[in-house]
Amino acid sequence: MKSAPHLPPFAEVVRLAELVALDLPTIELARMYKHREFTDHVIDILWPKITARGRAYYKGLSTYEGRLCQPHNNTTRFVISHACTECNREKLAEYRQSHPEKAKVAHALWHQANRDYVNAYKRARRALKREQAA
Those residues whose C-beta lies under 8 Å from the C-beta of residue 40, and which sit 6 or more positions away, are 55, 59
State the Cα–Cα distance between residues 41 and 89, nearest whole angstrom: 33
Q: How far is the CB of 69 from Zn ion (least distance, A)?
A: 3
Q: Which residue is nearest to Zn ion (CB)?
A: 84
Binding-site ranges for Zn ion (CB under 5 A):
69, 72, 84, 86-87
Nearer to Zn ion, 55 or 66 (CB): 66
Cα angle: 8, vertex 33, 76; to 5 degrees:
80
Q: How far is the CB of 81 from Zn ion (least distance, A)?
A: 12
Q: How far is the CB of 62 from Zn ion (least distance, A)?
A: 16
Nearer to Zn ion, 5 or 86 (CB): 86
Question: Considering only CA atoms, which of 69, 36, 35, 68 is closest in space to residue 55?
Answer: 36
Nearer to Zn ion, 87 or 103 (CB): 87
Element (H, E) at 78: strand 74-78
Nearer to Zn ion, 72 or 82 (CB): 72
Tell me how crowded residue 90 is: count the other CB atoms within 10 A of its CB: 13
Q: How far is the CB of 64 from Zn ion (least distance, A)?
A: 14
